[in-house]
Structure formats: C-alpha cells, structure tokens
Structure 1
C-alpha cells in the first residue's frame, strides 16, 4: 500500500468556473495535449505503432513534468473560456486570445481584495496557448501584436513588486528543526526525513523540484582533503536552468559545525532508517525506533562513521519519500507542493506566519545567510548555480542593505 504526505492533495485552482466536462478533463488531463496526435498517426501509418509510441514518448519528455502540468491546466482553462464564448480554441484567433487574457487579468480573489492571477501567470497561459499551437504545426496567435500589447498593458497596469517568500536564515532553520516530531515511533520517521529536506535544501540552495527529484543514487560521499571530514556531493541532473541535464551540476554539502545542523549527519541518520525499511519493512522500522533510548542532550556527530551511500544501488530510491502519520514510507517521492507545504507547516508550528514561507525560502535563505557571512557573489552563485548576478545582489541587499552602499560615507 502506498502512502503519501497529507500535503500531496491537490490545491483548489484559481481558474474561471469550468463546465463539468472540462473540469473532468482538468482533473484527468490529456497527456498528449502538447503532442500532435495526428502527426503520430501518420508515423504509425508510415512506420509502425512501436515507432510512433517511441516518438510520442520523447516528444512528451521535451518539457519538464511541472511545465506540462501547468500548460495542460492553462490550455483547459482557455478551452473552457472558448466554449463559453463560442470561440475556436485551435486554431485560435489572436483577438480572441487577447480578450481572454484581458478577462483573466480582471478576475479578483474571492474576497475581492486582490487580483486572482499575477501577470506572470497570464504570460504562462499565453505560452501554453503558443505551445499547443506549435505542437500541432499551427502558427501561434500569441505572436500577434494585439496579444503582445495586451500583455504589456497588463504588466504596466499591475506594477506591484512580486511577493517574495521570506528567507530561512540559520536562526530560522534552527527554529524549524526544533519543532520536528518527537523521537520514537511514528514521529521519528518524519523527524529524520525532514531534517534531510531542510538541511539539504538550505545548504545546497536547492529548488523544490530539485529536492523532490533527488534519489539516493544522486548522492556520493567524499573526504575533505584539508580536514578529513566527510563531504556529501549531490548530483543534479535536470534543473530549472538546465532541463536537459547537460551541465551535470553538482553541489557539495560539508560536515556541519554543529551536530544539529550538519547535513551529512542528517543523511547518516535517515539512510540508516531507510536501510532498515528496505531490509525489514514497516515493522522493522517501528522496532528500530522503539529500541532507541532517550535522546542524548549533546549528541556527537554521526557522519564520521558514514563510509559510503549504501542505498545508492541503482534502484532509483527516492531520497525524500512520502511519509504518512503512521510513519509508513511511500515508494514514490514527495511532490514539489508537499516540499513547500512542509516548510509552511514547520513555520506555523514555530509561531511564524506560514504565508511568508515556502519551498523557495530554503534557497533564498542560503543566499541571504551566505551574504551575511561575507561570501562573495561568485561563491554564492557557484553553490546556488545562479547565472545572473543581479539575483544574488537582491539577496545581498535583503541581508544587509548597507553593504557596499555609499550612504555609509555621508557622515550623517
């Protein structure tokens, strides 16, 4: 039986009211919406079914799963609007697309206090319409000047600064770690997994999608030649800025100064428990946790005894699987949404406003804390894999607005 995090349930969609047939399509999307099925049928006629299926599989994988999900939902919303307004969605008239985007821009939140859709969301909806037309060999209506001018007008009208999640700096991270479930069963399972998630996401400056996609096979243990301490090297294959995995990006996570915030110790504790589950199942995990004594108030590092990643055995085992309230591990990984909700949940437990935090808070927290610690732009960009220095400068200004600022020389 597969189990999942309670946060894996779908969130309500901020879309226009949809007719029941369209709503059903949205909940059970057509996975070929970005693939020209007529072209595949011609391949099937000219070659065979197996070759058509192979081509369709690779065409589908041309986009990341998150992008595909977003585009499918966006296309279904546009199709619903066209159905209501008696317009044609494929091929769409540029004026119809412009009117649709303008209508979406006018939508308000249920309480009427704000806009329902951000300009970035409307630009993504425009991109989804373009992608579906392109997949079917049709000219994109979004290239028309009327659509481009409409989007430009929306951006100029809605000049609000994007709402950014608060960074999880080191002090906040320690607070979140302190409110994890208690040791023992069943809380000890989530306690160990969530330590890996928080510390790896923070020290590695990882995105939600990168965290959710990690497997034990992506991990390797190295020894720091200067100190002899273990260092965890995480391989990132497909990322937001390298979706084809050509750069084969890696991040290094060193041994922490303190046991409670050491990402390598967190991995050692978690991998030991996952190995118990692999060998004996849920009952063995329960027995193992119940056999542990009272927690040591000043525990020593456990990473020094880590000799390798035993679970990196080619099984593609998720590093962060779902865990239910009974402490049972799922076979599938956490979703990106569950990663963000986990940070929010711990923020709420710690007495913080959960709306201020999310999955990006760990990555933002790394950059902010590194800037506070005196790290250079180059050092921050290397670990976070940023290619735009302006992004890093925004984090540095957040961390210390007086850093490298001429205002300090005014003699006030």
Structure 2
C-alpha cells in the first residue's frame, strides 16, 4: 500500500466514524425526546419478537439461485455481527448498518472491501426488511454516504485507463502472430487476437466482451461482422455493432473472429478426450502463420442461432496454458491481465499515472476515430453513448492546443 493509499484510507475511515457517531448521537436524542413525550401515555402492545435466524425465509425467491445464496450469506454475516455487538438486526437502524459497514467493510489495518461488495451487503439487508414490511435502512442518508465514501476512496487510488493507440494495437497483433500456428499457444493467441480486434473495432465495454456468446456474433457476406445489441438480459441501450471487412488481414476483425471460431468449433465438436487432436488438425489445415489472405471471405462456419444448443456458449472462454478451452467465459480481471500482458510482450509502455486494460480498447477506438476526423455522433452510434458530452470529452484530449495569445502578436 502506497503512502497516498494509507492517507486516503485513514481520512476516509475518520470521516466514516465521525458520520456514524453523529447519526448515533442524533438517534439517541430522538429516542430521549420520544420517551419523554410518551411517558404519560399508555404503552402500546409490542409485537412478538422476530426470529432473526428465519427472517430470510420471507424474502421472495424469484431471484437467481446464486444471487439468493450470496444474499443469504450476507444476511447471516450481518446478523452474527449484530449478536456479537449487541445490536438489533431486524429492524436495523441506519446507524447500526453504518457502523457495520465501517467495522467490517473497512477494518483498521486491513484491505477495505470493494464498493460493490458493500452494495450487495446493503441490498441483502434491505431485502429482508422489505420482506417484513419494514423501512430498508440502506436507503438512509448515512448508509448512502458511506457507500459514496467507499467509491471515492476506490477511485482516488485507482489509475485511470489509458486508451490503446492503433499503432500499439498493431504492434501487439504482430507480437502475437508467431504464436498462432504453434501448439498450444495458438489457442490463446487466436482468442486474444479476436478479443482485441472485436473489443477495439466494436468499442465494446469489458462487460459486453465477457458476455458475448456464439449467437451474438454473425457474419454477413456483403458487410462484415454483426454484433447483436443487448448483452446480458438484452438491454436495449446496447446498440448493434457492425464491423466491416478490413483491408489488412492482420487487423481484419472478421478474419480474427473466423480463425477463432474455427478453433472453438473444432474443440467443441470433439469428444472430451479428442479436443486437442481436433484443434491440431484444424491448425494443420489452416496454419495461422502463412496468412495467404482474408480467411473471412471463403470460410464456411455453421451458423449458431439463438435456439441452437451452443447459443449460450461463451465466445471468449478461458484457455489453459495446455491449450484446453474452458466452458465458462473469461472474467473481467482475466481480460485486463491479458491486455496488459500482450502490451508488455509488444513493448508497449503505459503512460504515467495510467494503465492499460479492457477499457483501453473502447477508449482507444474513440480516441483514434476522433483523431482521424470522425463525427462524434457517428462514434456514439458505435459506442452506445447517450450523452454527446461523454464523447466530446475524448475530443478535447486529441484536439490540438489552442493558439497562444502571445504567439499571435508575432513578437
């Protein structure tokens, strides 16, 4: 941990503790005033105490099983902490939830939990309260402030993502090229080439890259690749991307996709013990190092429709160093590490205060397109941005500096 990280963590922890103390003192004053006001009235009958250990059973089980399991574990962790510290878990006051997030989410001397983890913890607590007709404490200002503090602390210590220049992308592809025809490196080499080019030319977000399935990408003979919009849940804010045939086979996204699909189809089409042999046969039939031309123009690939058995097969699964192809998609962290590893292998250096990662492909496309004179609205059609200002922010980075007022005087 750097000195900056330590100062950020100390200051953030102090602000969170001060916030929790303020909320607790406020609730004590409110409680005292309420007790004095009701001292002369007849006490209302108290409801029967809730069995906290069985409180989760009231939550609607409509969510995915994995999501419910995670929420259930989060609720169990919270109730155990409440028992250990003598705090009520149901209903839980906002001050109790704030104290919990501070104590468990940002423990002194230990690494803080990710903001997404804290959000999930709060979501589990809210779900139980809503299921019992109670006000969710996670919607209170103190809890929202703590989550905002956690995000600010994360952003302060995280290096910004550097856009990947087109020349650097070409260098990375050239460095990968010798691996494309050699077992077992050819498997990861072809996958990485396809991921880099689809991510760059398609201006895809990291989440969109890892969510792509075989049914999401098709090739149209007169146009090129068509990447279906949506993604997980087929969100309407993700546009359809068109990736035209490239002039250079090395940087042609349809060629990269075709070469990778041939390997993936060979592996999936073989029996469990015959995947290696099937891939070797494909590599011998279509050696990647020769590059006679565009393989995307005459390749025959079986279409994968939305209802096909392999429709949900991940387009970019994990690949073991032995050449074995996994059945699940790469993680976002795996994509980030791959981009950095390929950049380092090509001698691409990261700018000071920034790092290369999955988002570098998307930001690199925007930067290069604007630098070459593309209209920002045309860029938005590819990226899916809704706010023109978000794209124009990239334009400011690539625009030449304004003429100096002194220079105009010809002194």
Structure-1-length-normalised TM-score: 0.69
Give the 3 Å change call, closer, same or farther, for CA 189–97 of structure 1 in structure 2.
Answer: same
Unmatched 5+ stretches in structure 1: 1-13, 15-34, 41-55, 225-229
CA distance in 2, matches of 1:266, 1:376: 27
SS at match of 1:381: helix
Aligned residue pair count: 343
Correspondences of 1:6-405 after superposition (within 5 Å): 37-38=57-58, 56=61, 58-60=62-64, 81-82=81-82, 85-103=85-103, 116=112, 126=122, 129-131=125-127, 133-134=129-130, 137-148=133-144, 160=156, 163-180=159-176, 181-224=179-222, 230-238=223-231, 243=233, 245-246=235-236, 249-280=239-270, 281-282=274-275, 283-290=277-284, 295-296=289-290, 299-306=292-299, 310-312=303-305, 314-315=308-309, 316=311, 317-352=313-348, 356-398=355-397, 400-402=398-400
SS at match of 1:59: coil
The CA deviation at 1:99 is: 2.7
CA distance in 2, matches of 1:244, 1:136: 32
Deviation string for 1:304-345 (max 9, x for gaps)?
214665344712232122221121222333233322222232
CA distance in 1, matches of 2:367, 2:287: 38
CA distance in 2, matches of 1:146, 1:185: 56
The CA deviation at 1:143 is: 2.9
Deviation string for 1:79-129 (max 9, x for gaps)?
66545534344432211222344457865776xxxx846778766765564
The CA deviation at 1:140 is: 1.5
CA distance in 2, matches of 1:357, 1:265: 24
The CA RMSD measured in Å over matched residues stands at 3.9
* Bigger Cα displacement from structure 2, 322-331 vs 148-157: 148-157
More helix by share: 2
SS at match of 1:236: coil
Unmatched 5+ stretches in structure 2: 1-8, 10-54
SS at match of 2:390: helix
CA distance in 2, matches of 1:39, 1:122: 20
CA distance in 1, matches of 2:384, 2:99: 39
The CA deviation at 1:357 is: 2.0
CA distance in 1, matches of 2:196, 2:109: 32
**1:4 aligned partner:** none
Give the 3 Å change call, closer, same or farther, for CA 123–321 of structure 1 in structure 2.
Answer: closer
The CA deviation at 1:204 is: 1.0
SS at match of 1:332: strand
SS at match of 1:232: strand
Give the 3 Å change call, closer, same or farther, for CA 294–346 of structure 1 in structure 2.
Answer: closer
The CA deviation at 1:347 is: 2.8
Higher relative contact order (CA closer than 8 Å, sequence separation 6+): 1
CA distance in 2, matches of 1:118, 1:98: 16
**2:37 aligned partner:** none
Rg larger for: 2
